[in-house]
Structure 1
Amino acid sequence: MSRHRGHPSEATSRAVERSAGELATLASQRMEEHLRWYRELSAEERSQVGLVAQAGISQFIAWFHQEESHPPSAISIFANAPQELTRSVSLRQTLDLVRTVVDVVESRVESLAGPGDEQLLRESVLRFSREIAFAAAEVYAGAAEARGAWDARLEALVVDGVLRGEADESMQSRASALGWGEVADVTFVVGSTPSVAGGAVPAVDDLRRSVRQHGVEALAIVQRSRLIAILGGTRDALPVVEAVADCFGPGPVVLGPTVPHLFAAGRSARAALSGLSAAAAWPAAPRVVESDALLAERALAGDQPASRTLVDRVHRPLAAASHAALLTTATAYLESGGALEATARTLFVHPNTVRYRLGRICDATGYDLTVPREAWTVRIALALGRLAATRSSRPAADLSRGPTDTGGGTGTGGPSSDGAGRSRTPRGGVAPTADVLLEETSKLSPATS
């Protein structure tokens, strides 16, 4: 229940009312002199702050005239442009504004108050300033809550757009609204959602806060059982993710490759999600692992981009004509189980030659065959490369085979020979395949077969 206050004299009320313009001018001058942040505002923003100060003084005068003592409705001071004010001026700066206005009014108490009203005017100013402070806190809390909810929806839409591989104007607009329009060096990170009280919101807030302590921007959402983060502003995201790994739930945390900007993050997202699905195939994988370290597992799981990457990195360089000896050496070394002497005997070369070639293989592919994990990855890559080469050469052979000549004799030579038993090649110069021979043999009568 509010405490009743005394009533000011008519002379004091008129003096306070007449001083409204003067008090507003003095408040603006004092803010200009003592508040650096006010001087750094744009003309439009300073105008908004000045309107708020004038509204505060006018509201105080109206409240001071009221005969019934009750809490003033200071929330109306910010009704003109609360959104603009909260975007340009922080809560701390708003309190500086309130303090300045109070100081200005207090400095004029002696000249404004009639005889005996000095203490009443001081108490009214202090009480009103308290209400303004609470009103400012309420305005900023409401704006922060609304902005947080809106930002969370925007984050979800942006991350969903990344997952879908979208990079249209709508996504660009949303990213710009979140301050991500110019963020470079983006990395997609995914892991399991931790079990925390309060559900997904605390998990996301904890991750975002922990990442920003390392000077890195972050978008984060929970999608089903996965906690997803998009990090921006660092080319080396691995140490950052290792430092905040406790924000994720149990199991692996996988990083996609770092891409130049958010609109290319779809590639990073696909790699990270593929790596998370395939990480179970590597029991000794570190807790935080890059998707490139899981290329072999991803390829085995059917990830075609991972297969192509392995072939391009390993098989294609070694299969070049200038590296024929390297491909032979890699194959022999892997088949011998990594035995140097056995590889040398197989290739009829000195062991030092094998060592030299292993070094060149590492230079050409980035993989060291003396490391078991990397040797296994190269073995998978070479197998995929051979399969790819086989598939690419098969259509050419089928086209060059041409139609099979099934006419002519049905003598003892069968369909692939003429009546005299001489070998006969179908048109096109290519011997018939096994399935063609089987088909033609099935057409022979029991007597001839």
Structure 2
Amino acid sequence: MPLSPEARSLAARCEPRVNELARRMARESFEELPGYPELPDDVKDLEIAATARHGVRLFLRHVGEQDADRPGSHRLFRERAAQRAEEGMPLHLLLRTHALGTYVLWQALRDVARPGEEAALVELVDVLLRSHPAIVGAVAETYLDERSALEAEQRAQQRSLVRGLLDGMVPPGHVLLDQLRLEGPALVLALGVDVPPAEGPVAVRRRLRRVQTVLDHAFDVDVLALLEGDGGRVVVPADCAPPDELPRRLSKASGLQVRVAAVRADGPAHITDAARTATEILRITRACGMPPGLHRLDDVLLEYHLSRRNESSHRIAALLDPVAERPELLETLRTHLAHQQDRRATAGALGLHPNTVDNRLAKIAETSGIDLSSPRGTALALAALLLRDAEA
């Protein structure tokens, strides 16, 4: 609906005051907002004042042309919102400057209004209030998009640094590692999900966010995590021990059985080795059929030693070649060793009759030549399983 000549005339009387209004907003009105006085003077005098000046002129142009939806009219607001997001200005402060700027403009219109121009003033306020939501919407949308992009970039950079540290690609003492807040001892974890489900990427991201939240709360610090669908690696930048209930809490959050291997690193220079050890502990617990839970090196000392490769490794691993094509035999052997060679416990775990377990173990002994009834044969079978798993 076109504005009356009286409304346009009233708005025109504000045009000579555009610069004055912009300065008042940037240097007086906004100063009452929490956090605004701490902004640099050049930001106030140049960027914020220029944005305020643009906003006042945009309103006056709308009054004259009645074209509030001209393409590009919010471009400067969007550019400034992106800058404020990059600089870290809180969104609430940015939006409050726009709201307060609208109020200052209303005060200016009221001050220049003459007796009898009340109806014209109402028309202008109507235009002002109708245009404000579009501006605030453009500012908030751009700010949030920019913050989201910046945070995604920061997360990607942090993940890259953590990955480089864990893999030994970023040497200790590198200047970039200052961003990770790693100075003294740290705790390194390897997480494993026994049977990752088939699920979409959105479900995976949600599950990983829940896992990250549990880790942060468990250690009361923002842990450095590289999480994937089947587990991941974690660096806790603190000299601490993992809570015994951590695997249970992770399993509850993810809906899956989770196993955790924990290794202490004396300092940043030891994190790479600690990560390798934790990953190896995790592999060993799986290869030996151990149930999910919290595992440390002391829990698998013998198995860890037996799984080290040397000139005899390939010959030990080859002892199980005769049953390599019989996965049910290997699984029976693995379960039997995990249950301290208790045939009934093995049968219960596999859902078999104890006699079936006996028959399978006899077949393994016959074809491989390993005497599972002797301590030496048990050690050989355990070492062969571990070394074959490492090769795989």
Q: Look up the SS of the partner of 1:256 in the other structure.
A: strand
Q: In 2, distance between residues paired with 1:260 and 1:141? A: 38
Is the aligned partner of 1:289 residue 2:286?
no
Q: Is the 8 A contact 1:216 1:234 kept in 2?
A: no
Task: Please name the residue that 1:67 is paired with.
Answer: 66
Decide which structure has the larger Cα Rg and report it: 1
Identity %: 17
TM-score (norm 1): 0.56
One-letter code aligned to 1:95: L
For 1:29-178, list aligned pairs within 5 A.
Answer: 29-32=28-31, 34-43=32-41, 46=44, 48-70=47-69, 73-80=73-80, 82-113=82-113, 115=117, 116-168=119-171, 172-173=175-176, 175=177
One-letter code aligned to 1:273: T
Q: Is the 8 A contact 1:158 1:171 kept in 2?
A: no
Deviation digits for residues 229-272 of structure 1 (CA, Å, limit 9, x no counterpart): 333356344369457523454241122214434x6421221121
The structure 1 residue matched to 2:250, chosen from 216, 220, 245, is: 245
Task: Please name the residue that 1:269 is paired with.
Answer: 275
Q: Give the drift of 1:17.
A: 2.0
Q: In 1, distance between residues paired with 2:266 and 2:3? A: 69
Q: In 2, distance between residues paired with 1:128 and 1:297? A: 71
Deviation digits for residues 38-69 of structure 1 (CA, Å, limit 9, x no counterpart): 12334455554444444433433333332334
Q: Is the 8 A contact 2:192 2:282 kept in 1?
A: no
One-letter code aligned to 2:33: L
Q: Look up the SS of the partner of 2:66 in the other structure.
A: coil
Q: Is the 8 A contact 1:200 1:222 kept in 2?
A: no
Q: Give the drift of 1:273.
A: 0.6
Q: Look up the SS of the partner of 1:36 in the other structure.
A: coil
TM-score (norm 2): 0.63
| C-alpha RMSD of the superposition | 3.5
Number of matched pairs? 297
Deviation digits for residues 306-334 of structure 1 (CA, Å, limit 9, x no counterpart): xxxxxxxxxxxxxxxxxxxxxxxxxxxxx
The structure 2 residue matched to 1:208, chosen from 208, 212, 217, is: 212
Q: Look up the SS of the partner of 1:257 in the other structure.
A: strand
Q: In 2, distance between residues paired with 1:291 and 1:111? A: 78
One-letter code aligned to 1:145: S
Contiguous gaps of at least 5 residues in structure 1 = 305-379, 381-449
Q: Is the 8 A contact 1:191 1:276 kept in 2?
A: yes
Question: Could you say if the C-alpha distance between residues 70 and 44 of structure 1 is closer, same or farther in structure 2, counting changes exceeding 3 Å?
Answer: closer
Contiguous gaps of at least 5 residues in structure 2 = 311-378, 380-392
One-letter code aligned to 1:228: R
Deviation digits for residues 338-390 of structure 1 (CA, Å, limit 9, x no counterpart): xxxxxxxxxxxxxxxxxxxxxxxxxxxxxxxxxxxxxxxxxx9xxxxxxxxxx
Question: Could you say if the C-alpha distance between residues 208 and 156 of structure 1 is closer, same or farther in structure 2, counting changes exceeding 3 Å?
Answer: same
Q: Look up the SS of the partner of 2:95 in the other structure.
A: helix
Q: Give the drift of 1:292.
A: 4.9
Greater RCO, 1 or 2 (C-alpha within 8 Å, sep 6+): 2
Q: In 2, distance between residues paired with 1:5 and 1:243? A: 67
Q: Give the drift of 1:135.
A: 1.0
The structure 2 residue matched to 1:255, chosen from 244, 256, 262, is: 262
Task: Please name the residue that 1:219 is paired with.
Answer: 224
Question: Could you say if the C-alpha distance between residues 24 and 296 of structure 1 is closer, same or farther in structure 2, counting changes exceeding 3 Å?
Answer: farther
Q: Look up the SS of the partner of 1:238 in the other structure.
A: coil
Q: Is the 8 A contact 1:275 1:291 kept in 2?
A: yes
Q: In 2, distance between residues paired with 1:144 and 1:253? A: 34
Q: In 2, distance between residues paired with 1:211 and 1:55? A: 47
Question: Could you say if the C-alpha distance between residues 213 and 300 of structure 1 is closer, same or farther in structure 2, counting changes exceeding 3 Å?
Answer: same
Task: Please name the residue that 1:12 is paired with.
Answer: 10
Q: Is the 8 A contact 2:95 2:140 kept in 1?
A: no
One-letter code aligned to 1:19: R
Q: Is the 8 A contact 1:75 1:136 kept in 2?
A: no
Q: Is the 8 A contact 1:86 1:143 kept in 2?
A: yes
